[in-house]
């Protein structure tokens, strides 16, 4: 029996990979093997317009239409697509990319700093705390989900080649943006989490379940290092375009 029941609904899990509604059920898109998911919009639009990128698919949601572009980067064909905020929404996009043939994904976007740092500092998550809901639909209950080592290596190689400082880290994935209380933030810092965001654990769990390679390049925007004063800084806006190009470099290096 594939269904594992529990008194706590979020801990109920079905091992069956087939669902009533499967990704790609209403489309017949064919994407390159490598893709970049970008938690940004303006930078993608500017890149697509400048490079005259072909639209090779689109995902229609209640919120908006998400186009998928094809580009060639470092001689490698890639799909690039905006990823929406939050684990559930971004995982839907990942599922559709996988259904279209994607096997290697690098995502990039900003995060909140839990430690003292400079805005725009780079972090490579090696594991993600599963304090969200989506990952529990893909993997049995556990405290953290590990990130793929091949993807970590690829991101690290690119940052070293470009001589950017970075840290490997554990990231706290939450779907409660307004529930990052002082005590909870302190608890996460004591556990060794350096950053907080809203998608990594969900995407990593989906990737593991679907047997694809996934990694994420994070850069800090706001800071919760001082829990007495939330510092919005400039929300990482000066790093978005750079991170997009680094993610495209990285996905071409994934083994």
Q: Where are the domains of the chain?
A: 29-253
Output the CA angle 12-197-22, nearest 5 degrees: 45
| Class for the domain spanning 29-253 | alpha beta
- Helix count and strand count (H, E) for the chain: 6, 12
| CA 141/CA 146 separation, integer angstroms | 13
β-sheet bridge partners, residue 157:
none
| CA 218/CA 200 separation, integer angstroms | 10
Answer for the pair 242, 250: CB distance below 8 angstroms, yes or no.
no
Strands 3-4 and 13-14: what pairing?
antiparallel
Count how many residues are written for the chain.
255
Closest CA to 173 of 134, 211, 137: 134
User: Which helix (DSSP H) or strand (DSSP E) does residue 208 occupy?
Assistant: helix 200-210
pLDDT score at 28: 87
- Please give the chain's pLDDT, 255 residues, in tens: 589 999 999 999 999 999 999 998 777 899 999 999 999 999 999 999 999 999 999 999 999 999 999 999 999 999 999 999 999 999 999 999 999 999 999 999 999 999 999 999 999 999 999 999 999 999 999 999 999 999 999 999 999 999 999 999 999 999 999 999 999 999 999 999 999 999 999 999 999 999 999 999 999 999 999 999 999 999 999 999 999 999 999 999 999
């Amino acid at each position: 029996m594939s269904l594992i029941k529990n008194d706590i609904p979020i801990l109920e899990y079905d091992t069956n990979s087939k669902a009533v509604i499967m990704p790609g059920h209403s489309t017949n898109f064919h994407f390159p093997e490598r893709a970049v998911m970008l938690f940004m919009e303006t930078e993608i639009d500017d890149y697509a317009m400048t490079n005259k990128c072909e639209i090779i698919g689109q995902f229609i949601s209640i919120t908006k239409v998400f186009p998928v572009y094809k580009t060639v980067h470092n001689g490698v064909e890639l799909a690039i697509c905006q990823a929406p905020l939050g684990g559930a929404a971004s995982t839907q996009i990942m599922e559709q990319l996988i259904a279209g043939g994607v096997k290697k994904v690098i995502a990039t976007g900003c995060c909140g700093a839990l430690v003292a740092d400079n805005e725009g500092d780079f972090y490579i998550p090696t594991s993600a705390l599963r304090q969200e809901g989506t990952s529990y639909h893909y993997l049995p209950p556990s405290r953290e989900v590990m990130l793929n080592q091949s993807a970590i290596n690829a991101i690290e190689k690119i940052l070293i080649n470009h001589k950017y400082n970075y840290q490997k880290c554990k990231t706290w994935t939450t779907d409660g943006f307004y529930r990052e209380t002082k005590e909870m933030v302190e608890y996460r810092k004591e556990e060794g989490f350096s950053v907080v965001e809203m998608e990594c654990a969900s995407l990593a769990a989906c990737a593991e379940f679907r047997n694809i390679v996934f990694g994420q390049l994070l850069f800090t925007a706001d800071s919760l290092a001082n829990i007495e004063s939330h510092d919005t800084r400039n929300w990482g806006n000066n790093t978005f375009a750079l991170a997009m190009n680094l993610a495209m470099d990285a996905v071409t290096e994934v083994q």
